[in-house]
Amino acid sequence: MTDPSATIPVVRGRSRVSDLAARKEVGILVLLIVLCLVVAVLNPNFLSPVNLQNMTRLIGIYGIFSIGLGIVIITGGIELSVGSMFALLGVFLSILLNERKLPGGVGMLAVVGAGMGLGWLHGLLITKVRLQPFIVTLCGLLFYRGIARFIALLLVIAAILWVVLHRSVYGRHLFAVGRNEEAARYAGINSKRVIASAYVLSGALAGIAGILLAFYTRSISPSSHGNFYELYGIAAAVLGGCSLRGGEGSIVGILIGAALL
């Protein structure tokens, strides 16, 4: 007679491998690796130190604000005004540092705080006034434009928000609200507060990424600074496994999506 318990480790091992292969992040990671290999073969300069340095800087910028957009998308919302926030907050940073002569750290904190304020305004309009996220952030895109070491920081922010999103009660609330807001509300979750906080967090990350972009470009033009970056961030989040219907997504997937872009 065969001992049934002897086959359990094998079945479990296969199950883990199957579960890993079925994850969206694995597919997009394979695509990223294949794409890098193809480009490296076609263009030898792709792996040059200068190009690798530029790529890590851009991945840092894209990854930071893409995480914020991904968190908003997980709640079932959308954020279209990030690129315009870059322009507005970049000009704000320039004024604080060059005209007001504030210390760099104070200026950066002020910009991140301003980004959180804009995100809070979006969340308030969406949850209290009951406006659609698409309309609110599209107006922000147009309105703000009119007014208007990276990879290491990305890894720190990603690590913190991975814990928040996947290992905390708040993270579970984000996913619950995105899957079914009404059910989450009946379960005792303050869905309005959760949704509003997602936009605040996205605004804060837009502020951080806007600072990095201002340093990277060393020039800020309100008419072109951050153009279409909101679409890049949304694409990175969706490529990384975030569903536009809400309730799905991961920090790792968003990072891979940002790197692919």
Specify the 3-state DSSP secondary structure of 261.
coil
Is the Cβ–Cβ distance between 53 and 60 less than 8 Å?
no
DSSP letters spanning 196-260: HHHHHHHHHHHHHHHHHHHHHHS---TTTTTTTHHHHHHHHHHHTT--TTSS---HHHHHHHHHH
Q: What's the CA gap between 176 and 40, in Å, rounded?
A: 42
Q: What's the CA gap between 145 and 167, in Å, rounded?
A: 36
Is the Cβ–Cβ distance between 70 and 261 less than 8 Å?
no
pLDDT of residue 24: 78
pLDDT 10s digits, 55-78? 999 999 999 999 999 999 999 999
pLDDT of residue 1: 47
pLDDT of residue 57: 92
Q: Could you tell me which residue, 5 or 177, shows the higher pLDDT?
A: 177
Q: What's the CA gap between 150 and 159, in Å, rounded?
A: 14
Q: Is it the case that residue 155 has pLDDT exceeding 90?
A: no
